[in-house]
Structure 1
């Protein structure tokens, strides 16, 4: 599992609670901070059901929030995953979350 795939599994705030800028990906989906290419993290495509069909949106986050959420997901997952307890390299989700943490941390200065 890639970092992008792991980011796509992180839970997001409810769409109706987000500003237009958060939905468009110009601000962080969690804290509303303005995003530049240097700090933006792609959280993967999300699909929504609508009366007239499905709609895709592409949320983004700042590196700080992406790192916090990925770390939290990694800790939660690794505590309950038997494979991760034995060897984290065996579990695709655990390995993907480690990649997500590294990706978010990479330029988090």
Structure 2
């Protein structure tokens, strides 16, 4: 996931995340959804935190789909390439792929 796409997602403040969330063991939006595995997680990639560390963010499929869909709706409302064909916009395409990955 590129920084441009991560910026579109409504990520919580990294300073408020637990260690488990920062290393991708639980959902970045809701740690109460339990431990994530490779089959239950949507990988959001690496994200630099303000304290100089790197977070390896992941989401549960439910949250990944929800937040990617919200970001896509907001983004595509102001992005002409997305309105015409989301495949012409790298962030739009990445969000569509994230939604599809979360459905699997």
Instruction: Please report how far the alpha carbon of residue 41 of structure 1 lies from its aligned counterpart in structure 2 after TM superposition.
Output: 1.5
**Range with greater deviation from structure 2 (55-64 or 88-97):** 88-97
TM-score when normalising by structure 1 = 0.78
Whose helix fraction is larger, Structure 1's or Structure 2's?
2
**Distance in 1 between residues matched to 2:71 and 2:82, nearest whole Å:** 13
Q: Which has the larger radius of gyration?
A: 1
Alignment correspondent of 2:25: 26
Correspondences of 1:1-109 after superposition (within 5 Å): 4-5=1-2, 8-9=6-7, 10-32=9-31, 33-34=33-34, 35-50=36-51, 54-106=52-104
**Distance of aligned partners of 1:17 and 1:55 in 2 relative to their CA distance in 1, 3 Å threshold:** closer
Whole-Å separation in 2 of the counterparts to 1:31 and 1:67: 13
With the length of structure 2 as denominator, give the TM-score of the two structures.
Answer: 0.81
Residue-pair matches, total: 100
- The one of the two structures with greater contact order (alpha-carbon pairs below 8 A, sep at least 6) is 1
The C-alpha deviation readout for 1:30-82, integer Å capped at 9, x for no partner, is 111221222112111011233xxx32110111011001011111111111111
* Runs of at least 5 residues in structure 1 that lack an aligned partner in the other structure: none
